[in-house]
Structure 1
Amino acid sequence: MLKQKTYSNFQLIALVFLRVVTGWYFLYEGLAKLLSPGWTSYGYLMDSQGVFSEFFKSLGQNQTLMPVVDALNVYGLILIGLLLILGLFEKIGYIGALLLLVMYYLSHPASLNVTYLLPPEGSYLWINKNIVMMFAILVLMAFPSARRIGIDRFIFRNKKA
């Protein structure tokens, strides 16, 4: 039987705030894309660099798949954001977040001598915001909080975390 993790009040508050602000980041990114008329991931995919660029460019060139890729991106971001903010099926939200972040990183790795159409937000060498977000998600996975403060508390009330 797994022992339920115990946190100090400060630790629990910090974890919940990290989960909620991370969720907000995903939710807002999805809503911004949803509410932007004509938004598509085409340009992002076609600007891909690195080892997996051919895969991402092939997605962008496939007119049949593009609406699916766009919908998965937009609604995936929104769903992940809501799951994390609400503390609902926390683990599923984290896995979805990691999958998206890995895809974003593989399509636009932070490497030397790589130039993208859109300039990066800073100067990166191997580590960019996607890697930082991945590690934040891994910390949240290692120290779950939704069964203490979140809807998961009510869903899994008879089960130990």
Structure 2
Amino acid sequence: MEYTKGKLFWLVLLRMAIGWHFFYEGMVKVLNPAWTAKAYLMDSGGFMKPFFEWIAFNPSLLAVSDFVNAWGLALIGFFLLLGWLVRPAALGGMVLLGLYYLSHPPFPSIEYLFPVDGTYFVIDKTLVELVALGVVMSFPTAHIFGLDRLLKKS
């Protein structure tokens, strides 16, 4: 796929911005041994609430959830930043974001203990980032600007 310089710039910037967001969020969790998703899971709402509470109250599942969250975010971000294995990373990011969205859907009938930044109705920043990862996956740039380009030549 060929892009104009402007399109390439914005697509690479989108990939790297999302990559940084994921990497930073993941590393904050990885480097904090006390971090856990338990409170977030217990505060979930919507039709998936029982599923997320089940994870929160099961110590083994919670440990797996914490590990997958922290390292998944960090590695997805790392791959997006480097421009390496971008499609699987973007797909993994979409799965995580989909779970985050389902755990805290922005519907008016649901109230959460934790404050949200802004007023949302159906579409929130989590869903917007999920859609943006779909764009990153659909319009690849790593073969032009990324580690994929270097690995492809060798």
Hey, what does 2:126 align to over in structure 1? 130
Q: Residues 8-157 of structure 1: matches in 2 within 5 Å?
A: 8-157=4-153
Hey, what does 2:2 align to over in structure 1? 6
Letter in 1 for 2:91: I
CA distance in 2, matches of 1:140, 1:82: 15
CA distance in 2, matches of 1:32, 1:122: 23
CA distance in 2, matches of 1:155, 1:103: 32
Shift in Å, 1:157: 4.0
Normalised by the size of structure 2, how large is the TM-score?
0.96
Shift in Å, 1:153: 1.1
Shift in Å, 1:37: 4.1
Number of residue-to-residue matches in the alignment: 154
Greater share of helix residues, 1 or 2? 2
* Amino-acid identity (%): 42
Structure 2: state its 5+ residue gaps. none
Normalised by the size of structure 1, how large is the TM-score?
0.92
